[in-house]
A and B are shown apart, each in its own frame.
Chain A
């Protein structure tokens, strides 16, 4: 212990007798008010920033969802196009074979 027992005791007595008197002065009250108001303002600022961060995160998630949906749509279109090409190719071959058969 850095203070030692006596140090603590002395500090306690001092705070007990003069600390209370000091706190009762107008200046101390004023200072406390200023500090409290700063504290409350800080709380509001922090909470506001948390709110903003959350909303921004919501924006990002919403955009991400849209992006994924878009990608899925594009991929689907590609897939459909590829499938169509295969079917058309097969049709063409079948038509060719039919033409040969009749010829």
Chain B
């Protein structure tokens, strides 16, 4: 690409494409390409000016080099299906025309004609207000209509017209910020491509979802996301269709039932014939999901808009009194011009949405304002240990075979079973087999998952089990081969153990090291500092291991050897004690606890069902995001508080000034609108400074 450097300073460069023009698609391509270059922090490409502003931390040469290598036609860049650019353009144009039309009208049309237009335009507002009154409610739309009508009756058509103009601008801005936030979120989410097991010729192959064609047969097991629409070919499963229907009770699916993309298998497994390939509808589904979740407005937000409606009668009465007492319609108008609602209704959602967007800049996706509020107010934070406090990738350190079996063969068998289940321990086993280059063709029959305990299947005639000691020895009554007890007792105690049994006899123990994340202790301290009074760890590990980890990390309380239902019960108990709770987890077995908590936080690498039921998702490799989330949500609450006081204060003052006759209607309207715009724009600013 040929370009010209227009400006340069430390860590920032502005270049211009030398060609005559740039399309929006090209701008998107350049933007996503540059964002992928190492050392580049932030890029904005403007297709109208053909300029790109690049902020970088790496060496300057690598940026220039990347620019030189770029070609619009040949360079392959992953650009999401929808970027915000077209949307942004559409709104910019609308705003431009709205303003241009008003200016033109004022310049060109004679006053009478303008007044006629104002009169016509006021009709929809009046109709809306009448409808509202008919329902027995006096809300903001009534106040809007009254102020427009009173202004017109007083012969002040200019004011009436500017009230409508400001209302329109406010609506447009609100719509814009809203759509943009939703779009941004969806854009980021649609970039993740899931993988799915495709059955072909008797074996199962892990395939990216976008490569699956209609007619392919896929297998989805407990905890897995059904990535595509299809019909069940065989198997039986209960499917959680909450993402489609909002109904949280799982639905039973058997042969011939239709299953839908985006739903999650709760229990059992099913083989599905795909009817529709990915692509179509995926983006729309994400958008729908976000919109649904937005209905979960935060309490503060809801309170603000109710308050706005509740204040309407006071404004009306105040204006009426002013008119009755002074006989001066201008004074009444001055009061009517000031309504609390515009500002409250604009500033609150904008604050929340921009906080959600800022979260996604920090790779935290938040499904609704309600959860930010919970994140700000919670006193207790509960961690499921594996995968959150410990490394995302535990490692198999040793395979101890029993009864004279071969260690590698046992690892192969274990990997073969575990690869079907989305769990961090399972991933460790599969990874260990891969490292040793052990190929594992599917030799077993149907696999069955017993949540939180283990997996059962059969190889030939023999029953194969893998899981916890409780599951293997107590539930299934597996025996230890003769002479194996000393070996079993000598296993290193500081590691987690996974037991493999074949034909009712212990075959091997896999020692798994579940290393605590380096930053974990610092994070726990940070959480305390940010106002969490109780940091709790839940784990399936033995009491001894759990106590050691808890002491090392400075955790206030822990529960060892817990089952999934215990996790949810723990959170219920916290609720009963009157505390708000955040739960952090990543596995299938965390799902009940995640949905029980006020805000459930899932690790993005975890099971699909965990992400599905979670309210907030963070990336796997950085627990610092928890601190960022807390700061962000606390800052949001502060901002909402400020907005509240500011709006009430400024507008009350304006009313008093109007009443005292110190300000004419036009001036209060102007000041009111200016303060509304100010608070709206202020609410869009980032909550956290770069340093944080």
Contacts from A to B (Cβ < 8 Å): 1-3, 8, 39, 43-44, 46-48, 51-52, 55, 58-59, 62-63, 65-66, 69
Contact = CB atoms under 8 A, between A and B. Distances in A.
B14 interface: yes
B92 interface: yes
Given A2-B110, A3-B112, A43 B9 contact: no
B14 A47 contact: no
B12 to A, nearest CB: 5
B619 interface: no
B10 interface: yes
Interface stretch (B45-53, B65-73, B123-131): B45-53
Given A3-B112, A43-B93, A46-B96, A51 B10 contact: no
A3 B7 CA distance: 58
A2 B92 CA distance: 38
7 contacts: A43-B96, A51-B51, A58-B53, A59-B6, A62-B7, A65-B9, A69-B10
Nearest to B13: A62
Contact of A59 (B7, B10, B93, B96): B7
Contacts of B100: 39, 43
Interface of B: 6-7, 9-10, 12, 14, 46, 48-49, 51, 53, 92-93, 96-97, 100, 110, 112, 116
A52 B96 contact: no
Contacts of A46: 96
B110 A62 contact: no
Contacts of B7: 59, 62
Contact of B92 (A1, A39, A47): A47
A48 B16 CA distance: 13
B112 A2 contact: yes
Is chain A's interface secondary structure helix, strand, loop, or mixed overall?
A: helix
B93 A58 contact: no
B392 to A, nearest CB: 37
B97 A47 contact: no
A44 B96 CA distance: 10
A78 to B, nearest CB: 22
Contact of B46 (A3, A55, A62): A55
Nearest to A45: B48
Given A43-B97, A46-B96, A62-B9, A55 B14 contact: yes
Contact of A1 (B9, B46, B49, B112): B112
Given A51-B51, A58-B53, A66-B9, 9 more contacts: A43-B96, A52-B51, A55-B49, A55-B51, A55-B53, A59-B14, A62-B9, A62-B12, A69-B10
A48 B112 contact: no
Nearest to A55: B51
B9 A52 contact: no
Contacts of A47: 48, 92-93, 96
A91 to B, nearest CB: 37
A44 B112 contact: no
Contacts of B14: 55, 58-59
Contacts of A58: 14, 53
A57 B9 CA distance: 13
A69 B9 CA distance: 12
Contacts of A65: 9-10
Given A43-B93, A66-B9, A51 B48 contact: yes
Given A1-B112, A2-B112, A3-B112, A52 B12 contact: no
A81 B96 CA distance: 56
Contact of A52 (B49, B110, B116): B49
Nearest to B7: A59
A61 to B, nearest CB: 9
B48 A44 contact: yes
A7 to B, nearest CB: 9
A54 to B, nearest CB: 8
A82 B97 CA distance: 61
Nearest to B92: A47
Contacts of B10: 62, 65-66, 69
A51 B49 contact: yes
Contacts of A43: 93, 96-97, 100
A35 to B, nearest CB: 12
Nearest to A53: B49
A41 B175 CA distance: 26
